[in-house]
Chains A and B, each alone.
Chain A
Amino acid sequence: MESAIRLTHVSKRFGSQVALNDVSLDVPLGVVFALLGENGAGKTTAIKTMLGLAAPDVGRAEVLGLDSQRDGLEIRRRVGYVSERPMLYEWMTVAEIGWFTAGFYGDGYLPRYEGLVQQYGLSGGKKLKALSKGMRAKVALALALAHEPQVLILDEPTSGLDTLVRREFLESMVDLASAGRTVFLSSHQIGEVERVADIVAIMHHGRLVLVERLDALKEQIRELTVTLADGAAAPPAVRGEILRRRQRARQWQVLVRYLADEHLETLRGEPAIAELEARTPSLEEIFVAYLNDGRQEASPVPAQEVAAP
């Protein structure tokens, strides 16, 4: 599959602070790609690197086959980009900023913009400074979408939006992806992203600790709640990649990846285990597990037996 965005061993430092640490990423066309991470994880730097707004110290970034350092301007022209705090001219009306921006794109921009504005329920005559945060985000999104970009890059696009709008907005992302466009969004609104993302990546301290299709991820990760039998003291021996484990009295909670069904049945038959429940965790739980577990990177290794200490 052709890549919409590709980062190859990209590193970037700001003084002593490492913003990106050997990040490699491949975003195929026609997907909704969610980059998750806590504040300061390096998401915005990664986006700026893709757009040619920041030069990587090492590695290479490409968008739509264009080198971000050499063709940054062309990339920014071809993609739709909504930054974390979109810069808009407050003194313009909704209609004026559309007309103004249309000057930089080809024919058809303005009608599409007007359509989007109508779709989002915005009034063309209102000045931007009179709009709520959510409405401004909608204007920014309409401006980014009106030239029908192949790739849409959104940096924290839903912050400030109310629940309804956020839901509506995210669903429109799915529509875009189904129309063959790529949506790259960075967010820490995990719950919302979960509903629309095809692929998720988790970034922590400048490193990518997980890149996986969401459906596959959910198949791979289970949360086990193990209640030990009386007299048993040792924790359960769970085979797989342990992401998190917690103990409450005689009860253990273990988040594990690559747990084989057969092994689960074996565990159920263990005499030391009085009770065992297994469920699929939410993306948020997986995200928290990855960040809190202290692991620094993803382990794309096959399942193995990990004996709890």
Chain B
Amino acid sequence: MRALLFPRLVWKEYRVLRGYWLSLLVVGLLIEFFMAQFARDPQLALFSLPWVVAAFFALGAGATLFAIEREEQTIEFLRGLPASPSRLFVGKLTLALGGTLLLGVALSAAALPVVGPEQLRNLAANNTGWILGAPLLLQVVAWGMFFSLLLARPLVAALLATLATFVSCSVVAYVATASDTMPGWRTGWEGVPHALMTVAVFLLDFVLSRRWLFGSARRFRAIRIARATDMRCLWWQESRQSGVVVGAVLALGLLLMVSNWASAGPHSAGTVPIATLIFALFGSCVFLADQGGGQFRYFTERGIDPRRLWLARQLFWAAPAAALMLVYLLAHVALLAMVVRNGGAYDNIESRKLLFFNYEWFGLHLGDPYRHYHQTWHVGWFRQLPGYVLWTALAYGAGQLCSMFFRSGLLAAVFGVIAAALLVAWAALMEFVELSWLFTVAPLAIALFVGTWLRAPDWLIERRDWRARVRGVLVLAVPLATVLIGTLLYRVYEAPAPEIEIAPRAQNASAFAAADARRTADLYARASDLLVKMPSEGPFAELRGETSTTLTESQIAWLDKNEEPLALVLEAAARPDCTFFGTSYRLENGRSARFLELGHLVVLSARQLEDDGQLAAAWTRFQAAFSMARHFHQQPGLFGEIYGNALERMALERLFFWGAHEDQTPDRIRAAIEYIGKLAPLRSMTDEIKEGYGELAVRLFNEGESWSQFDEPPIVSRQLARWMPWELVRSKRTLALLAKLDIDDVQAAESALVGEGKPAEAWYYEDPYARLKVEHLTRTSLFFGVERTNESFQGFSRSVIDSRRSAVAYRRAVRLALAAEAWRLEHDELPDSLARLEGNGLGPLPVDPFTNQAFSYFPFGFRKPISSNELKRLPLRMPLLYSPAMPRGDYLMERIGSLRRESDDAPPASDVSNHELERVQGLVFPIPERF
């Protein structure tokens, strides 16, 4: 007889849970069907789904097993049975585990036709998640039983079990790996601590089950969660009248999200709208049953505390919404982790940012003044939880507000969803502009709940006088206005306002607007119009940086075709001043490139004369090129820095070879050294920066000149921002800040160039936090627009300073190299050190402007042939000067030192034969052999 008892106990439990098991089976099959029909790549999801559904069963079964006995008052019957507590415990556990396994297997079998047995086998064999997943599945049952033993309500037990499992997972993830990026999902070894914890909870369950069956009822009552009687009644009432609705919304939420992720992956843009819709629907149901037919009057007539009613309704509806939120969170994080584990990459960064809001954005690191500027996008449960909670609260809050204000459930749902969409859009905007949700979104969510809480008494007695209306409006309007005004003020004052003036181009143009200068520009323009365009292929593509000394036939042909423009350019170059402003010529990119091509023409003509042995005439052409570069430097803004330096450098590069010509004389070289030493000083970088920002201001804010001339595609954020005066103020302040930082930077660099102070790195290298802040400010300035982010946040100083230092380095290095050539002409060998050249027409020995130290000198060249950014190929053993082209280039110096050839007899490197060029960073200035 006793042998029959155990199967019958299992049978009893089966009868209790049969409906739940079958429901989940049907739901699981339906989801599988939809996934098979509509999912783009259903294999992975179909493999996981059965076990997700099985986990749901495990949770529900565990939470029901013991609690239901007390809820239905059958515990006394069980006590009367001749069954031992252990047998009872094992019977219930067997059913829970068996049902879980059976459900998983049944749904997996149903998915087999779609997944295919081979694929299923592969997935199962390769999935390290089993090591973690299996203990977790058991742990869900264990926690469910634990709370089921303590409580009399299965639903509450299930919710607490979910929470406990969630906490357990997070704690294990942190403790076991000291990381928040879920490495356990990649290795599966978090399964070990989970297995240990599962065993511990099961043991605790077993002990508790003995006490549960034979302990006094009073003792258990004492550890039950205290509940007010009226709350219990209200919970019961709402569960009876709205249970079906809860189930329907939950099922809808699961179905929509599963189909969304199955069809478009976890990065799907549909995730946010779907979740917002579902949570808003949850909210709009909060007072649905009470509103129907004015049922709330039941409570009115009996003097029920409106706030208690409010609390009861909120608790009832918030609980499943919170549970669904956790399911979304866990599933989403797990799916993303699986994508990463399978070699996928995060794409669609915007939606990821919205979903995985980091806790830094909540200002939780209050001690860190730069907390808002940290941008580390990790996938992790704890990190994402606050964002999920707030997002859910916002959508749910909007729904419950409408639920109280609209009698019709349909209207409440429609307006709830609309309001939720607006609020989530606001939250998304705040995320986009990187403002903490703690201050910009959380108050709104709180206001929504406080609004209904305050309105509850008026709602219950249907008070609609003006006082009640004003109260209702104020409750929402005050926080809304506060957040809105506060956000706008913060947006403006977040950017500091340095006292600095940035000069639009037009203001400076007048200085160059003399008629004579305009005539020079006309000559350049005519030349540019007549210029036969340089072929883009062949030897011309290698014009820069070539070490060849002889012109190719196509280069000579190009020179022959451009005699007239060359004559015009030489005429223009001989003139003192030039301005392209106040003329009809605009320095658009195309025109500027053609002006630079004219520079190529002049330098190439100098080389032709050099080839013909007419070194003096060639030098005159080089002077014309320098003069042309000077004209470019006379232009305001950054034009001179870009095109003037480029042209000057083009001419200087050729002077290395001009100096090494076999017919060269020391006197001619010294004259060139003197000329280069007296080249016009380059313009103040500060002015250039100011003018550069002036131009940028014109482009961004459409001030001073017509915007249309810049031929830029319209940027939506900028178009919108034109309607927001505070955004204009903020963007101007940000631009001024950028200008200030850049000006500080270039002023320090300018001081270093004249030998005062050491050259420094740009500010954004020196102060990474400042860089983060400026990145944040520019990235979130609507006028700057997303497209401009990378261009703007670093400002102009880096390129201007680098360009300026390079230009100065070339001037100095060419003088040094020419002095070395003169020394070689006089001594038949190069000096053994640069110090020997001091005073030899050079004055003080020029130093490297990047380091303010002497240039590195390699009189015997390198042991290997090299290439650099400027030189295509520098032959083995060619003497040279070297600059690391950065203030702290010690590691470059070290590397370049290893290539040094110490004497004329030193052998080349052993691997020279493979003809591979050693590529070196920095600037290389050759001192060619005489030819």
Task: Mark A residues whose CB is within 8 Å of B.
Answer: 52-53, 55, 72-79, 81-83, 86-89, 91-92, 99-104, 143
Contact = CB atoms under 8 A, between A and B. Distances in A.
A298 B229 CA distance: 49
A54 B377 CA distance: 56
Contact of B233 (A74, A83, A104): A104
Interface stretch (B146-154, B298-306, B657-665, B687-695): B298-306
Given A88-B298, A89-B295, A103-B232, A53 B461 contact: yes
A4 B234 CA distance: 31
A210 B234 CA distance: 44
Contact of A86 (B230, B237, B241, B301): B301
A83 B301 contact: yes
Contact of A103 (B229, B240, B294, B300): B229
Given A55-B463, A72-B461, A89-B241, A100 B236 contact: yes
B471 to A, nearest CB: 13
Nearest to B308: A104
A74 B303 contact: yes
A89 B465 CA distance: 29
Contact of A89 (B229, B298, B305, B463): B298
Given A103-B230, A103-B233, A104-B233, A87 B301 contact: yes
Interface in B223-240: 229-234, 236-237, 240
A83 B236 contact: no
A73 B298 contact: no
Contacts of A82: 301
Given A55-B465, A91-B241, A100-B237, A77 B303 contact: yes
A75 B303 contact: yes
Interface of B: 229-234, 236-237, 240-241, 293-295, 297-298, 300-306, 457, 461-463, 465
Given A55-B463, A88-B298, A100-B236, A76 B241 contact: no
Nearest to A153: B301
Contacts of A103: 229-234
Contacts of A86: 301
16 contacts: A53-B300, A53-B461, A73-B305, A76-B301, A76-B302, A79-B303, A82-B301, A87-B293, A88-B298, A89-B237, A91-B240, A101-B302, A103-B230, A103-B231, A103-B232, A104-B233
Top-7 shortest CB links A-B: A76-B303, A103-B233, A77-B303, A87-B297, A87-B298, A103-B230, A103-B229
Nearest to B467: A55
A102 B302 CA distance: 11
Nearest to B306: A73
Nearest to A140: B301
A74 B297 CA distance: 16
B461 A52 contact: yes
Contacts of A77: 302-304
Give the interface SS of chain B, mostly helix, strand, loop or mixed: helix
A86 B236 CA distance: 21
Contacts of A73: 303, 305-306, 457
Nearest to B309: A104
Nearest to B233: A103
Contacts of B240: 91-92
Contact of B295 (A87, A100, A104): A87
Contacts of B230: 103-104
Given A73-B303, A86-B301, A103-B231, 12 more contacts: A74-B303, A75-B303, A78-B303, A81-B302, A83-B301, A87-B295, A89-B241, A89-B295, A89-B298, A91-B241, A92-B240, A101-B233
A100 B298 CA distance: 12
A89 B234 CA distance: 12
Given A74-B303, A77-B303, A87 B294 contact: yes
Contacts of A89: 237, 241, 295, 298
Contacts of A79: 303
A196 B35 CA distance: 72
Nearest to B240: A91
A53 B301 CA distance: 9
B753 to A, nearest CB: 81
B454 to A, nearest CB: 15
A132 B529 CA distance: 102
Nearest to B289: A89
Contacts of A87: 293-295, 297-298, 301
Given A53-B461, A72-B461, A89-B241, A104 B298 contact: no
A92 B239 CA distance: 12
A58 to B, nearest CB: 14
Contacts of B298: 87-89
A91 B236 CA distance: 13
Contacts of B457: 73
Contacts of B465: 55
Nearest to A55: B465
A133 B233 CA distance: 26
B306 to A, nearest CB: 8
Contacts of B241: 89, 91
Nearest to B234: A103
Nearest to B295: A87
A263 to B, nearest CB: 50
Contacts of A76: 300-303
B304 to A, nearest CB: 6
A87 B462 CA distance: 15
Contacts of B231: 103
A35 B461 CA distance: 23
A83 B297 contact: yes
B592 to A, nearest CB: 77
Contacts of B229: 102-104
Contacts of A78: 303
Among A53, A75, A88, the most chain B Cβ lie within 10 Å of the Cβ of A53
A91 B289 CA distance: 12
A224 B463 CA distance: 50
A88 to B, nearest CB: 7
Contact of B301 (A55, A81, A100): A81
Contacts of A91: 240-241
Contacts of A143: 302
Nearest to A155: B301
A53 B294 CA distance: 14
Contacts of A53: 300, 461-462
Contacts of B303: 72-79
B859 to A, nearest CB: 100
A137 to B, nearest CB: 14
A99 to B, nearest CB: 8
